[in-house]
Structure 1
């Protein structure tokens, strides 16, 4: 079961780093979840850091054992976790919640959270997925270099118990994991696409020094994004294109 055991850490560099160390020592089982009151070097995608004041937000890592999937289905797991985060956040923030490709949590056009999945391979097989999730819960002041942050407190106007909400998120992940089978891959991907930020709507993007308007037309089974640009389609991988937020 996801969240059993549920371990609260007062201060840690990164819950993902801590989980990886525990896996390497061989002292953990699938479902174990680590929640941090404070991270001194929280990890985000593409080597970025996740900054959060102590005790204000949801910062946790869950250890999954995706035996039911082949390595070629890694994006199905990523989509399922993104949908679990969507299930969780939309229950409190409402139907303006969405997923920004590939697995950021958005409300309207503002970032509420992110997901970082690191895989542990043994002998060519997929042993564990270390799933780190950070969601803004009670934070109201953000560093000025963050372009578009939002928290659940911003949206709802009230404070929340981040640990209590982390248990709710564990239940959402559990429900999604119970549906995670190769036979359901197409259904999962279709639901994922339907929850996407800017799905089938034009928006501004940047690729290198090139700014352009495009429309998301598809997400492929390997997670690559298909954009319609100037009447034709282009396919981009993770980190190859940036969503430009305009206000």
Structure 2
């Protein structure tokens, strides 16, 4: 397995994206850094991480889905791979908050950002960015954030964690031949599924809905008060929790 270790870099996703554009990479080629100066999150947010305390890395997969609608299964693979490793360390109340945050005890401990580059031969370069809060003990002005160390009151070996996550990614990626099983597991961890949740749309209007699941295109399916089910993409709503 090709692991590129860098002391400091703006973004592991950008570095790996540029690398994949200039040379042929093996699947699961990984770039990891101790200091990510301009880490990216969903909706253009900045992912902030204390130097040397957490796992910030990106992994490359050359994916060849039969249909574009199968692209979201990569999100499922990554989320379940992380959940499996965290369960080993007995993190409790683990959930996947749509579209791809990992929560423990209702606190965000991991963020995932997957960027897809469609090539001329229709293959897709998937750049999988992962930020896992491992040994950071304080999150200023981030009341919904936590770390493995805070939740378990011990420090963790980041090198061991990285290798376990990459092995879990490989294992779950090889299960793509049985997508229905992956979807079933994903929905079993989906945060607030089946319960009333407050949402806010792009016009700042707040409303209640009940999460039914996620569509094959990665849209959140919400049962509204008029008994209709509406599908939302990541830019259309945010969950208030």
1:190 is aligned, of 181, 184, 188, to 184
Post-superposition CA distance 1:132-167 (Å, at most 9, x none): 1111001111131x2400100111001112122111
Measure how far apart 1:95 and its partner are.
4.1
Instruction: Determine the structure 2 residue equivalent to 1:149.
Output: 145
TM-score of the superposed pair, with normalisation by structure 2: 0.94
2:210 is aligned, of 181, 206, 215, to 215
Instruction: Determine the structure 2 residue equivalent to 1:132.
Output: 129
2:223 is aligned, of 209, 219, 228, to 228
2:200 is aligned, of 206, 209, 212, to 206
Separation of aligned partners in 2, 1:74 and 1:59: 23
Instruction: Determine the structure 2 residue equivalent to 1:167.
Output: 163
Aligned length in residues:
239
Instruction: Determine the structure 2 residue equivalent to 1:53.
Output: 50
Separation of aligned partners in 1, 2:199 and 2:88: 30
Distance 1:22 1:136, change over 3 A: same
> CA contact under 8 A between 1:90 and 1:96: conserved in structure 2?
no
Unaligned runs of 5+ in 2: none
> CA contact under 8 A between 1:119 and 1:126: conserved in structure 2?
no
> CA contact under 8 A between 2:199 and 2:238: conserved in structure 1?
yes
Aligned-residue CA RMSD (Å): 1.5
2:64 is aligned, of 53, 56, 67, to 67
The answer to whether structure 1 residue 38 and structure 2 residue 38 are counterparts is no
The answer to whether structure 1 residue 8 and structure 2 residue 14 are counterparts is no
Post-superposition CA distance 1:50-104 (Å, at most 9, x none): 1111110011111112235433211111111111111122222434111001111
Measure how far apart 1:20 and its partner are.
0.9
TM-score of the superposed pair, with normalisation by structure 1: 0.91
Runs of 4+ in 1 over 3 A off after TM superposition: none
Q: Secondary structure at the match of 2:140?
A: coil
Q: Secondary structure at the match of 1:73?
A: helix
> CA contact under 8 A between 2:196 and 2:209: conserved in structure 1?
yes
